[in-house]
Structures are given as C-alpha cells and as structure tokens.
A and B are shown apart, each in its own frame.
Chain A
Amino acid sequence: MTEPLLSIRGLTKAYPGVVANDDVSFDIQPGEVHALLGENGAGKSTLVKMIYGLVKPDSGEMLLRGKAFAPSEPKAARASGVAMVFQHFSLFDALSVAENIALGMADPPAMRDLAERIRAVSDQYGLPLDPWRIVGDLSAGERQRVEIIRCLLQDPKLLIMDEPTSVLTPQEVQILFETLRKLKSEGTSILYISHKLEEIRALCDEATILRLGKKVATCTPRDTTAREMAELMVGAELHVPSREQKEPGAVRLALKDLAVKSPSEFGTSLKGITLEVRAGEVLGLAGVAGNGQDELLGALSGEIRSANDMVSLDGKAIGATGPRERRRMGLLTAPEERLGHAAAPDMSLTENAALTGAERKGIVSGGFLNWGRARGFAKEIIDRFDVRTPGTENTARSLSGGNLQKFVIGREVMQAPEVVVVNQPTWGVDASAAAVIRQALLDLATGGAAVIVISQDLDELMEISDRFGALNEGRLSEVRPAQGLTVDEIGMMMGGSHDMEVADV
C-alpha cells in the first residue's frame, strides 16, 4: 500500500459547551476522492478548517506525505499544497475575477500574466471564465469556477470542497464532476463534503462518516446505498415523508401573467408568470438562485405589489393588497434569508413568533400585544419542530441555521395557512429535520392547503411535489406533473447548462 497523502490522527477540537471533533482519524490516499459525510453540527466544517489552517486542533496530529503537518494559517496550508473551495463563496463582489484569484495566491504574477494563466487553466479544465469580469455580475456556477480555478492555479495536492454542488444545475454538476475526475486522474486528492448522497456515490472512492464530532463509520460509497449512508449519518432509521394521494381540489392561488420589476439593482424581474395551485397540491419550483425566486416570493407575500388581478386567492384579486391583509386571508410565506428577512436576528423567538403570527394567532387585540399568547405560540413551535434552544427568550441569531430554519417554517405551518409559499425550506437543515419539515408541508396539503415550495434541492422537490416547474431569468417554464420527469428534462427546464462545456479529458 502506498503512503497516504494526508493522515489525520486523533484530531480533537472543543469549543465552549460542545466538542466539535472528538478523536477523529482517517487517511486520504493520493488520487483519491474522499467523502466527508455528516449532519449539520457533526463537525465536518471544523475538521476541514483544521486541515486548512483556519482552526488549531486541541490535540491530535496530521501527517502530510509522512511529515508532520500543522498549518498555523491558510497561507501555510496553501504552501503545502492544500487548497479549499468554500461552501459560501469567499469572493469579493466588487473586484474582477483576476483580482479575486490574485488575492488567493501567495505570490501572484502581474495581472496580465495572471489573466493569461486563468484563461489557459480554464480552457484546460472546461471552465470558461473571463478574467476581467466583475465577480458581482457572475452567476453562481461561474463564481464557483472562480474559486476552483483559484485553487487549481496553485497546483494543489489536496483539494477540499465544501458542499460544492448546492448552487448548481444538474448539467453544471456533471461538468464539475468531469473536472474533478480529470484532477483525480492527474493524481490530485479531493476531500469532498456534501449532503447529497447520490453525488457521493457517483464520485467518491471512500467515505468517512461523522456524527456529533466522532467518526462513526467508513464505507465505500459505490457499494453502499444512499439510505444506508443516511442512516449511518443520522444514527437512526430515516423517516421518509409520505402522504395519502388525494384528488386536488379547487384552485386556491392563481397568478395571471404576473410581471413585476425587481426592487433590487441586481435582482431579476418577473416576466409573465402564470400558474395555478389547487387545494391539496404541492407545486415545486426549481431554479438556480437569482432567477426570480426572491421576487416571486415577494410578489406572493405582498412585499412587492403588482396589478390587482395578477394575483388571486380563492378567486379574489389581491395583487395590490399588503402583507398583513394577505396573511389575514391565509396566504403565508417563508422567505429564504433567515436572518434579516424571515426572522429579526436580535429579537427573541417570542417576538419573532409574534411578528408573523400576530394576525392569525390572536396575539394582537386592540393594538395591544398579548405576550403570554406569543410565548405560548413560540413554545408550541419549539416543541413540535424540535427546535434546539434553551428557551423562547433567546434571540433568533443565537440559533444555528438549521434550528432557526425549523422555527421559521414551523411558525408559518402552525398558523394553519390556506396557501403557504416557502423558499428553500430545508436549506442547511440536516436530514432528519428536513424530513420533519417536508412531512409538515405534506400534511398541510393533505389538510386542504395549497403549497408552493421553491427550492434548489431537486431531490427535495421530486420527493414532495405533485407538479413541477422551474424559474429561469424571471420566467416560469411549463409546469408538468412531477412523476416521471428525468434529470435531463429538469435541467432543460432550468435553463440548460449556462455555456459550460465538458472538460476534454
């Protein structure tokens, strides 16, 4: 057996109140694609941050090609041949592609030479990119290419990728995988973090599974089913959302040729969206971020007004009514951005519960707030959706992303909506909590509500939707029954491959 590229031995890191990594050991071989799996809070991010020199381990050691490896900062890790593509792109919007890449290099060449090298590498790996474009104008897929090329220019021995596919269309994912396979064939090792088990089965050679900071299993993804891996991650049997099939009822929400201008400068305006959702039906809307999802949610919640007859609820035109009136009528929404849009970060959970629940939960009477009821409502949400927090008086900001997501979705679900619209309902939420949220949405539909789920997670949409459509540059594709759609068809609906080409291996 050859010497491993990177050995991790007994790494431990504790934060106040939580052990993020507890005695984690595994090896990465040269030219291996190694998956790191685990739920939120399992300690994957902490682990890779230690490898990348952002966090110092409390104990344990790492060996890079047999030599002790303890990077004190990312610069040192990069110098040793470790590169990382971040989950949330660590890019600078106002700077050009070349400037962004120069920032990630220890000793960048002059801008003009760098631009030449960027072109060369991007052609070689099938990731076309213009070095002079401003990053703020790029699509999510193109931004990721910037990060990847930034890493590739340093000729890394180990490439760490944290949730790289969460923002890509299926075609873009295929192209990314081709690039990664080409890298692997050149002997580069890849440490690949993802929630998406099918992707890991398609790409990875080995998998290490973490749960609550401990390594609980290793497996060979090709020989393991996605369900088995999920259960190893969760440590329990996984509940798959289900419901009884029912004939859809009357049309509850209808959009007729909805066209509104985006309020933000870089936003996408909606163009002629027509759709209907019936009682008891779940409509899934896919699309890469920034194709009008936020605007559609705004137009439905009442934050963006349209001509009155463009939106109707149970046959009544409401396009020009405001959010409070719509909420009173039973049209509830949960936007994507948790901190600052769905929840006020520095207010307590009680206050946040009152913010959208005031009308339907009788929290306001005669202009006065009934804090007792608000607290009771917050408590109900916390209990039913298993929100992990010490109490109702903690601020929204103090919750982890997944827990806050459970709270904001739960808050709308428990107001017994007639129509509910959610954007990215399970983003950043772990598998078991995601199952709870999806089940709650399905239960609403069974109870006669109409549900619209906007999401970038195709597996999620295929799991719960009855009908399926995609947003692309503010337009809605044809809406088709979800049953029997193929990945290729979905990709075409989402707007094709965004000028990507497959790497010429």
Chain B
Amino acid sequence: MDLSAINPVLLIASLMVAATAVMIAAIGELIVERAGVLNLGVEGMMITGAICGFAAAVQTGSPTIGFVAAALGGAALSLLFAFLTQFALANQVASGLALTLFGLGLSALLGQGYQGIKPPSTPRIDIPVLSDLPWVGRILFGHDLMVYFGLALVAAVWAFLKYTRAGLVLRAVGENHDAAHALGYKVIRIRVMAIAFGGACAGLGGAYISLIRVPQWTEGMTAGIGWIALALVVFASWKPWRVLLGAYLFGGVTVLQLNLQAAGIAIPVEYLSMSPYIITIVVLVIMSADKSRAPASLGRIFHATH
C-alpha cells in the first residue's frame, strides 16, 4: 500500500469533475421540488440526455451542440412527465418511476450504433499564468466549462429563490398551491416550467457523464447517479448550497475510494465502493436535523376547483 501515490491536488481537481453531473441534476430537481412536484424520473432524464448529447456531439463534432441537445432531450422527456402529472393528474411517484424506466429503454434504442465511439473532446479552459499557478491553478482554473457552469448554476438558483419575485412565486406554489391559485398565480404553468428546467438540468448532467467524465456511450451508464441526485435534494433540505456540499462530498469520496483501491489498501473493494453513498447520506442526514422541511405541497396533485 502506498498512500503517498495519492496527490491531493489531483484529488480535489478530479472530485470537482466527479461531482458535477450529480450536482447539475440535483439542482434541477431542487427547483422542481421547490415548486411542489416530485419527479422521480431524474435517472431516466439523465440517461436520455446522455445519449442525446453524445449523438449530437458525434454527429456535429461540437460538444457545445451536444450539451444543448442533451438539455433539450432531458426537457422533452420531462414534458411527458409534466403532461401526465399536471394535465392528466396522474400520480407523481408512479409517473416518475415510469419515466425512469422509459428513459432507460429509450436511451438504449437511441444509442444503437454509438457504442465504442469516442466523442469529440471538450477543451479545458487554459488561462495563461493562472492555470499554471501551483496548487490553486489546477484546482481553480484548469477545468472544462461545465464545472464552472455547474457552480454558477447553484449560485444562480440560490439567488433566484432568495432574491427574485419569480423565485418567491415558485416557492409559494410549492408551499401551498391552493393559496397561490387563489392569489391568481398560474400553478400549472409555473410547475411545467420548473419540470422542464429540471429535465434540462438532468439532461446536462447525463451528457456530462457521456461526453466528459467517461467519455463514451454504454447502456445504463448513469448507473444510479439520478437516484443519488434525488437523495441529495432531500438530505440537502432543499437548499442549493447544501446540494453543492453533498455533491462535492459524494464526488470526493468516490474519487478517494478509487485512489485507495489503486493504492491497494487492505479494505475489501465492496466496502470502498459503497462508501460514497453511505458517507454522503450520513453527513446530510446529520445536517438535515435542523428545522427545515419539505415544501408543503410536494407530490400533491393540484386540481383547480374553480
């Protein structure tokens, strides 16, 4: 065993990469749940985004177009969920589970012929001088744009919810949809927009895996990240910065345990593999022991009676 082989700078830099997919998907789901909708289809939307982004990037040669296609793909799939739950008033849990199964199947179909192909690589930003600084240069200035996009998204969502009128209305809809309706807010429209945003984010998260993290296409490659994103939202008590923290913790332990495996530490691989899930959930459970609680209308079906 040789722990000195683990380079802390590389570890931090790679945990940021490992955390980005789950973070983007989770921040999208956070908006959906703050609007009072429980969409369990994150995994399905992620894998659909992963293949949409992958295919578009391979066809056009542009990773940017790939990410745009991934967001559109995820959003399109989420609109199916929006139709079922907001217009047909179907049960949200069942619809969300169905969406995941549907997304897994759809992505396998779309992905025919894309196995074993390398996607066009996404450049890292490279700022002269800054990126070459020791330690901080690699950690702060040496990533692909999506890492920064994810961080900016968390900040933007936080500011949106806290400081803007639209964010206040969104929280109000999630808190008490009947009262929001009585005040004249368009509950269904707001929720559909939130669901589409969540779908787009999930799609981006999926494409981050297929275009940057791995990068290749295999069936079912999101491997439960969507479920982790869902759990993060709950244990983060629906707070954006805690989603960031949870995602980085998850990414960090994931990377660390891989390094430990490589270093040949004397712990069975199975325990190391499960550690990211266990540690993330334990930490967030402890943190969520404060007074915060779920949006009061979460998962409830809204039907305007007048």
A74 to B295: give the CA distance in the assembly, Å.
24
If A95-B175, A103-B172 are given as contacts, then 11 extra A-B residue pairs at C-beta distance below 8 Å, sorted by A number, are: A54-B306, A55-B306, A74-B182, A74-B184, A75-B184, A78-B184, A90-B183, A91-B179, A92-B175, A102-B168, A104-B183
A179 to B168: give the CA distance in the assembly, Å.
30
14 pairs, A vs B, C-beta closer than 8 Å: A55-B306, A74-B184, A89-B179, A90-B178, A90-B183, A91-B179, A92-B176, A93-B296, A94-B296, A95-B175, A99-B168, A99-B172, A103-B172, A103-B180
A177 at the interface (CB under 8 A from B): no
B285 at the interface (CB under 8 A from A): no
Query: Cβ of B182: which chain A residues have Cβ within 8 Å of it?
Result: 54, 74, 86, 90
Q: Tell me how far the C-beta of B176 lies from the nearest C-beta in chain A, rounded to whole angstroms.
A: 5
Measured CB to CB, the nearest residue on chain A to B184 is A74
Task: Give B149-192 interface residues, CB cut-off 8 Å to A.
Answer: 165, 168-169, 171-172, 175-176, 178-180, 182-185
A380 at the interface (CB under 8 A from B): no
Q: Is the CB of B296 within 8 A of A103?
A: no
Query: Cβ of B172: which chain A residues have Cβ within 8 Å of it?
Result: 92, 95, 99, 103
Measured CB to CB, the nearest residue on chain B to A106 is B184
A93 to B295: give the CA distance in the assembly, Å.
10
Our pick among B168, B293, B295, B306 for the contact of A103 (Cβ within 8 Å) is B168
Number of A-B contacts (CB under 8 A): 50
Q: Is the CB of A95 within 8 A of B171?
A: yes
Measured CB to CB, the nearest residue on chain B to A100 is B172
A250 to B7: give the CA distance in the assembly, Å.
83
Q: Is the CB of B171 within 8 A of A94?
A: yes
Q: Is the CB of A102 within 8 A of B175?
A: no
Query: Cβ of B306: which chain A residues have Cβ within 8 Å of it?
Result: 49, 54-55
Binding site for B on A (CB under 8 A): 49, 53-55, 73-75, 78, 86, 89-95, 99, 102-104, 108
Query: Cβ of A103: which chain B residues have Cβ within 8 Å of it?
Result: 168-169, 172, 180, 183, 185
A55 to B185: give the CA distance in the assembly, Å.
14
Q: Tell me how far the C-beta of B240 lies from the nearest C-beta in chain A, rounded to whole angstroms.
A: 16
Number of interface residues of B (CB under 8 A): 18
Query: Cβ of A55: which chain B residues have Cβ within 8 Å of it?
Result: 306
A108 to B165: give the CA distance in the assembly, Å.
9
Our pick among B168, B179, B296 for the contact of A90 (Cβ within 8 Å) is B179
A89 to B168: give the CA distance in the assembly, Å.
18
Q: Is the CB of B179 within 8 A of A73?
A: no
Measured CB to CB, the nearest residue on chain B to A91 is B179
Q: Tell me how far the C-beta of A268 lies from the nearest C-beta in chain B, rounded to whole angstroms.
A: 18
Measured CB to CB, the nearest residue on chain B to A108 is B165
Query: Cβ of A102: which chain B residues have Cβ within 8 Å of it?
Result: 165, 168
Measured CB to CB, the nearest residue on chain B to A103 is B172
A210 to B184: give the CA distance in the assembly, Å.
27
Query: Cβ of A99: which chain B residues have Cβ within 8 Å of it?
Result: 168, 172
A222 to B67: give the CA distance in the assembly, Å.
72
Q: Is the CB of B183 within 8 A of A74?
A: yes
Interface centre among B179, B182, B183 (most CB of A within 10 A): B183
Query: Cβ of A91: which chain B residues have Cβ within 8 Å of it?
Result: 176, 179
Task: Give B266-306 interface residues, CB cut-off 8 Å to A.
Answer: 293, 295-296, 306
Measured CB to CB, the nearest residue on chain A to B297 is A92
Query: Cβ of A78: which chain B residues have Cβ within 8 Å of it?
Result: 184
A102 to B165: give the CA distance in the assembly, Å.
9
A164 to B50: give the CA distance in the assembly, Å.
55
Q: Tell me how far the C-beta of B46 lies from the nearest C-beta in chain A, rounded to whole angstroms.
A: 29
A102 to B167: give the CA distance in the assembly, Å.
12
Q: Tell me how far the C-beta of B168 lies from the nearest C-beta in chain A, rounded to whole angstroms.
A: 6
A260 to B185: give the CA distance in the assembly, Å.
42
A55 to B181: give the CA distance in the assembly, Å.
12
Q: Tell me how far the C-beta of B9 lies from the nearest C-beta in chain A, rounded to whole angstroms.
A: 42
Q: Is the CB of B183 within 8 A of A94?
A: no
Query: Cβ of B295: which chain A residues have Cβ within 8 Å of it?
Result: 94
Q: Is the CB of B175 within 8 A of A93?
A: yes
A91 to B175: give the CA distance in the assembly, Å.
9
Query: Cβ of A86: which chain B residues have Cβ within 8 Å of it?
Result: 182
A103 to B187: give the CA distance in the assembly, Å.
13
Q: Tell me how far the C-beta of B189 lies from the nearest C-beta in chain A, rounded to whole angstroms.
A: 13
Interface centre among A53, A54, A92, A95 (most CB of B within 10 A): A92
A245 to B177: give the CA distance in the assembly, Å.
50
Query: Cβ of B178: which chain A residues have Cβ within 8 Å of it?
Result: 90
Measured CB to CB, the nearest residue on chain B to A107 is B165
Q: Tell me how far the C-beta of A280 lies from the nearest C-beta in chain B, rounded to whole angstroms.
A: 44
Q: Tell me how far the C-beta of B185 lies from the nearest C-beta in chain A, rounded to whole angstroms.
A: 8
Q: Which 10 A-B pairs have the closest CB atoms?
A: A90-B179, A74-B184, A92-B175, A90-B182, A75-B184, A73-B184, A94-B175, A92-B176, A92-B172, A103-B172
Q: Tell me how far the C-beta of A400 lies from the nearest C-beta in chain B, rounded to whole angstroms.
A: 13
Measured CB to CB, the nearest residue on chain A to B176 is A92
Query: Cβ of A53: which chain B residues have Cβ within 8 Å of it?
Result: 184
Q: Tell me how far the C-beta of B15 lies from the nearest C-beta in chain A, rounded to whole angstroms.
A: 33
A95 to B167: give the CA distance in the assembly, Å.
12
A99 to B183: give the CA distance in the assembly, Å.
13
Q: Tell me how far the C-beta of A87 lies from the nearest C-beta in chain B, rounded to whole angstroms.
A: 11
Measured CB to CB, the nearest residue on chain A to B173 is A92
A94 to B185: give the CA distance in the assembly, Å.
18
Q: Tell me how far the C-beta of A137 lies from the nearest C-beta in chain B, rounded to whole angstroms.
A: 10
A89 to B185: give the CA distance in the assembly, Å.
16
